[in-house]
Structure 1
Amino acid sequence: MTRSLVIKVTAGADSPERANQALTVAAAAVASGVAVSLWLTGEAAWFAVPGGSERFPALEHATPVTDLLEVVRAGGRVTLCTQCAARRGLTQDDLLEGIRIAGAPAFVEEVTTDGVQALVY
């Protein structure tokens, strides 16, 4: 059975340590060969747009979120919450390549699959 991990991150610049921790776990899981699905919700929605992660504050002793997000985009799947995108006026055309927009039904399907572990930050 393939190991899978779904991570939902709700924090962005409003809670930089929590946001960085979620992306660190996602990137570490990708590097370990785990199938990762990262969901960007709330203020984490801004990571989905070009330049969004560059505006994130640098944290001492932490890998920059830009680097972490690139690891996840390259080896996992990144999804922006439908409602979160709409509230911020974001469409698919506004997003970084490879990031999709999907809603709660897709999230529920992912987290209820056998063998999937889910984390929320």
Structure 2
Amino acid sequence: MQCTDFVATLFHGREDPARVTVAFTMALAALGKGHSATLILMVDAVHLGRPRATEGMDIGQPFDPVSVQLAKYLELGGRIALCGACMVHNGLTAADMDPRFEVIAGPDVIDLLMGASGSLQIN
């Protein structure tokens, strides 16, 4: 996976919609400032890699629902990476995931983080 200016790692899924919302909000903000961005879904967050997994996640104003943020993020060129080992640990396969997202391995996570100008870890 090609490095981007901004990388956010997210460890939480539907059980913590506030953290998910903040991760997408910050990744969108990076794109809005002209930076390239990758959001890495790790640990329980890999469940968000399933099609339509963000539907219904809405913590209210001033934040947009996560599904709206995801659509904007992808439209603006943001990338989603899924931790392959985390998927296996959670009983998921690449076939379960949204095909727009890329499955990566641990060394790829390191490359993305080391190659970024800035990062945010939400764990």
Q: Which TM class, normalised by the smaller chain length?
A: 0.7 to 0.9
CA distance in structure 2 between the aligned counterparts of 1:15 and 1:107, rounded to whole angstroms: 22
Q: Which residue of 1 aligns with 2:79?
A: 77
The residue correspondences of 1:60-99 to structure 2 (distance < 5 A) are 60-61=60-61, 62-74=63-75, 75-99=77-101
Q: Which residue of 2 aligns with 1:41?
A: 42
CA distance in structure 2 between the aligned counterparts of 1:91 and 1:71, rounded to whole angstroms: 26
* Structure 2 residue 17 is the aligned partner of structure 1 residue 16: yes
Identity of aligned residues (%): 26
Q: Which residue identity is paired with 2:19? A: R
Task: Describe the superposition over 1:19-59 as per-residue Cα deviations: whole angstroms up to 9, x where unpaired.
Answer: 11011111121232211011011222122111211153x21
Does the 8 A contact of 2:56 with 2:65 survive in 1?
no
Scaled by the length of structure 1, the TM-score of the pair is: 0.86
Taking only aligned residues, the RMSD between alpha carbons, in angstroms, comes to 1.7
Q: Which contiguous aligned blocks of 4+ residues in structure 1 show a shift greater than 4 angstroms?
A: none
Gaps of 5+ in 2: none
CA distance in structure 1 between the aligned counterparts of 2:93 and 2:19, rounded to whole angstroms: 26
CA distance in structure 2 between the aligned counterparts of 1:72 and 1:87, rounded to whole angstroms: 27
Give, in angstroms, the shift of residue 72 of structure 1. 2.4
Does the 8 A contact of 2:14 with 2:54 survive in 1?
no
Q: Which residue identity is paired with 1:29? A: A
Give, in angstroms, the shift of residue 112 of structure 1. 1.1
Gaps of 5+ in 1: none
Q: Which residue identity is paired with 2:119? A: A
Scaled by the length of structure 2, the TM-score of the pair is: 0.85
CA distance in structure 1 between the aligned counterparts of 2:114 and 2:60, rounded to whole angstroms: 36
